[in-house]
Amino acid sequence: MLKAATVLLFVAIAAGCGGRTSGEEPPVGAQQDVARQFAEAIFRGQANAAVHLLVEPRDPALSWLAKRAARPWKRHHATVRLPGRRIGRRWILRYAGTRTHTDGSFEEVRGDIVIVVGGSKRRTGVEFFVLRHGVTRFGTHHDSLLLPSNR
């Protein structure tokens, strides 16, 4: 009886001290680090790095969305304004970047990326993300040469 109670006590302690269980909130520092790394991977066009930061990298839908979001930023990177704001497990980071085209036209893009960070027993990662409040301003090389008085 004493041996069974000792084993049960050991199992209870081990279960409480083991890593996070699904549904628990990861530490704020870990959340912030993952959100920053994910946003920077997206806006540097590093699709594989972004997918690796997902809580479930094998999720076909979310990994496809991460790859799709990173694709336009492969050649021209955006900057991410850090540290961002936190609301629960949601991290809101502002971004801004310019993408130029071979014909001299360009796009100035800015907005927010909202990243929901969660954890599983194995890791802290991105559960979902969305780009919001995106504003795109289109221009040409000629627009950038005009003086403010000529616009």
pLDDT in tens, 77-116: 899 998 899 998 999 999 999 888 888 888 899 999 999 9
18 assigned to some structural domain: no
Q: Tell me if 94 is assigned to some domain.
A: yes
Residue 9 lies in a domain: no
Total domains in the chain come to 1
User: pTM for the full model?
Assistant: 0.74
Residue 12 located in a structural domain: no
Both tokens of residue 74?
């492969």
Residue 99 lies in a domain: yes
Per-residue pLDDT reduced to its tens digit, 6-30: 333 333 333 333 333 445 678 889 9
CA distances in angstroms from 127 to 5, 28, 119, listed in the order given? 39, 15, 8
Which two tokens mark 82? Answer: 């850090």
The residue segments making up the domain with residue 128 are 23-150
CA dist 42 and 129 (Å) reads 11
Residue 29 lies inside a defined structural domain of this protein? yes
CATH of the domain at 115: 3.10.450.50
Which runs of consecutive H residues, i.e. helices, occur in the chain?
2-17, 28-42, 47-52, 60-70, 141-145
Q: Considering the domain boundaries, does residue 143 fall inside one?
A: yes
CA–CA gap between residue 74 and residue 43 (Å, rounded): 8
Is pLDDT of 38 > 60? yes
